[in-house]
Amino acid sequence: MARYAMVIDTLLCIGCGDCVVACKTENKVPEGLNRDWVVEATRGTYPNLTTEFRSERCNHCSHATCVYMCPTGASHHWKDTNIVLVDPNKCTGCKACIAACPYDARLIMHPGGYIDKCTFCHHRVEKGLDPACVSTCPTHCMYFGLLDDPSSEVSELLRTRNYKVLAPETGNQPNVYYLT
Amino acid sequence: MLEEILVTARSNPHVDPVMDVWGWEISVYLFMGGLSAGIMFFSALMLLMKKDRETPFAVNGLALLGLVVLSLGMTTLFLDLSHKLFVWRFYTTFEPTSPMSWGAWILILFYPVAVLQVLSTFRTGYPFFAGLVDSLPLVTKIFDLAERYRRLIAWLAIPIAVGLGIYTGILLSAFSARPFWNTGLLGPLFLVSGLSTGAALTALIARQHAEKRLFTLIDAGLIVAELLIVALLLINLATGSRPQLEAASMLLGGSYAGWFWGVFITLGLLIPLLLEYFETRGALRNLAMLAPVLVLIGGYVLRVIAVDLGQETTWIDYPSEFNTQLLERLH
């Protein structure tokens, strides 16, 4: 399995929300629905506070429980990569994948009724472009690339910087990394 | 530490602020699935044990209810789908890692076997309706054939009933993302609860006193088994990791405590158990309707608690301060 990763530098992120707007524009996400979002995590006691901004989305897990739970094969790994997609023509809207996602990253596509989610902009990745959120980021704090290629920017960053992933204890092997 | 989705909104319907993608449709389906499993199990078991005389309703009349109950359950299951036109996609594939796919195929196996069960006992169970069609030569042949193989049909029904009953629990327990569900005990719990509701329904409808008494006795035994499995489930939750402990506190002392202790445990298990104990000793005859009705209510409430609480339990939990009304003011 070729592993695509998104690496987000939380030290550079200012929480502007452009990644969310870029996603909505690029993917024509209907009003009221979100494929990505920005979390503000504040730690400490006043006046000694630190704030971390995290742009979050589907983690495109290598061990994707949503894919395992899907009864029709609609949730699948795209072209033997870790990119998780939903085929609307196979989706019954049973919502098993929504319940199966420990990150609550999936949504019901209204009014279509099928399940929708972040695609890592695979239609752009196919052309060698970065996902819309990554290419829009004004602070250049987001990176996208192949983890299997040791010379890629994402591999280099994960070799040299401290990082974390969200809830690794779920065993889902998420592929969105946060530099800390 | 406070983590909030503050910078941008996330208000995906049925996911935020608390997951509730599955509502009453799924609770009803899981209840009806368990009930029809119990119905199929006891109708087949009593036939195989040659209890035709002691339990005439269970052997000859019960199986028809299984078809009705499961059809109602599958109707609510269908109502839950949000992409309904693609329901046939369940049957163009088999996904071995998905309990829901197993369930879809078990449901398909249930129907022909239940129909055969009904055909093989229809003449004795529903003589009036059988008489209406029995004069047609083809129907006579079908009844004859089904009756000749009625033991074989009952043998087929047993594993399908157990499979259906246990799958309704495995369906939920396979979700590692929902800590409350993620225990293998849900399979046996839902199976035993399904059998118990099946026995209760039989005791409720059967006319003969001996049959009522036998199924009251069976149901009492199943309630004891169910209480033991619930105890194991609670031990499992209360000694688990952080997300499981959170689920345990919601169930035992939080927003679900009243439903769990008051309705499910007390009204749905303990009181019927007491009533059934007295009934089998010949007392409280005029209350004979009450215990089975309470068991059926308890069985349904168990499914409601499981479906609702399970969805609320999670690994990641952000308070989302976003208020959709603010967005409307912008227009």
- ipTM value, please give it: 0.92
* CB burial readout B231-245, b (16+ within 10 A) else e: eebeeebeebeebbe
Residues of chain B with C-beta less than 8 angstroms from the C-beta of A39:
3-7, 318
Contact flag A95-B2 (C-beta cutoff 8 Å):
no
Mean pLDDT computed over every residue of chain B: 92
- Which domains, ranges and CATH numbers included, belong to chain A? 13-143 (3.30.70.20)
Least confident of A81-90, B85-94, B288-297, B317-326: B317-326
Contacts of B307 (CB under 8 A, 6+ apart): B22, B23, B26, B27, B30, B172
What is residue B5's predicted lDDT score, i.e. its pLDDT? 61
Nearest Cα residue in chain B from A68:
B97
What is residue B22's predicted lDDT score, i.e. its pLDDT? 96
pLDDT tens per residue, range B195-218: 999 999 999 999 999 999 999 999
Architecture of domain B24-315: Up-down Bundle (1.20)
Contact A156, A40 (CB under 8 A): no
Comparing C-alpha atoms, which of B162, B197, B190, B165 is closest to residue B298? Answer: B197
Q: Could you say which of A65, A91, A107 has the minimum Cβ distance to residue B176? A: A65
What is residue B3's predicted lDDT score, i.e. its pLDDT? 67
Distance from CA of B194 to the nearest CA of A (A): 22
pLDDT interval class at A43 (50, 70, 90): confident
Chain A contacts in chain B segment 158-197 (CB below 8 A): 174-178
Nearest Cα residue in chain B from A16:
B7
Q: Is the pLDDT of residue B71 over 90?
A: yes
Per DSSP bridges, beta strands B2-4 and A75-77 are: unpaired
Q: Is the pLDDT of residue B7 over 70?
A: no
Q: Is the peptide bond before A174 cis (omega within 30 degrees of 0)?
A: no
Q: How far apart are CA B116 and CA B13, in angstroms?
A: 43
Residues of chain B with C-beta less than 8 angstroms from the C-beta of A106:
15
For residue B193 the two structure tokens come to 């609860």
DSSP three-state, residue A35: coil
Q: Could you say which of B2, B14, B174 has the minimum Cβ distance to residue A108? A: B14
pLDDT interval class at B6 (50, 70, 90): low
Q: Per DSSP, what are the bridge partners of residue A9?
A: A179
Kindly report the number of other CB atoms within 10 A of residue B45's CB atom: 19
Contact B314, B3 (CB under 8 A): no
Burial (0-12, 13-18, 19+ Cβ within 10 Å), A49: exposed
Q: Is the pLDDT of residue B317 over 80?
A: no
What is residue B320's predicted lDDT score, i.e. its pLDDT? 57
* CB burial readout B187-213, b (16+ within 10 A) else e: bbbbbbbbbbbbbbbbbbbbeeeebbb
Contact B63, B121 (CB under 8 A): yes
Q: Is the pLDDT of residue B321 over 70?
A: no
- Greater model confidence, A43 or B269: B269
Comparing C-alpha atoms, which of A157, A155, A127, A123 is closest to residue A140? Answer: A157
What is residue B232's predicted lDDT score, i.e. its pLDDT? 97
Residues of chain B with C-beta less than 8 angstroms from the C-beta of A167:
315-316
Chain A contacts in chain B segment 79-118 (CB below 8 A): 80-84, 86-87, 89-90, 92-93, 95, 97-101, 103-104
Q: Give the amino acid at A64.
A: A
pLDDT tens per residue, range B131-157: 999 889 999 999 999 999 999 999 999
Contact flag B9-A37 (C-beta cutoff 8 Å):
yes
Q: How far apart are CA A122 and CA A128, in angstroms?
A: 9
DSSP three-state, residue A64: coil
Cα angle A96, B185, B28 (rounded to 5 degrees) comes to 50
Q: Is the pLDDT of residue A125 over 60?
A: yes
What is residue B327's predicted lDDT score, i.e. its pLDDT? 58
Q: What does pTM read for this prediction?
A: 0.93
pLDDT interval class at B280 (50, 70, 90): confident
Q: Is the pLDDT of residue B252 over 60?
A: yes
Q: How far apart are CA B96 and CA B59, in angstroms?
A: 34
Structural domain spans, chain B? 24-315
Distance from CA of B110 to the nearest CA of A (A): 18
Least confident of A54-68, A99-113, B7-21, B281-295: B7-21
Q: How far apart are CA B144 and CA A152, in angstroms?
A: 73
Q: Is the pLDDT of residue B4 over 90?
A: no
Q: Is the pLDDT of residue A159 over 80?
A: yes
pLDDT interval class at A51 (50, 70, 90): confident
Contact flag B11-A32 (C-beta cutoff 8 Å):
yes
Q: Is the pLDDT of residue A112 over 60?
A: yes
HSE at residue B277, side-chain half, CA atoms within 13 A, is: 8
What is residue B287's predicted lDDT score, i.e. its pLDDT? 82
Chains A, B: CB pairs < 8 Å: 163
pLDDT interval class at B331 (50, 70, 90): low
What is residue B17's predicted lDDT score, i.e. its pLDDT? 81
Comparing C-alpha atoms, which of B139, B141, B138, B191 is closest to residue B163? Answer: B191
- Greater model confidence, B15 or A154: A154
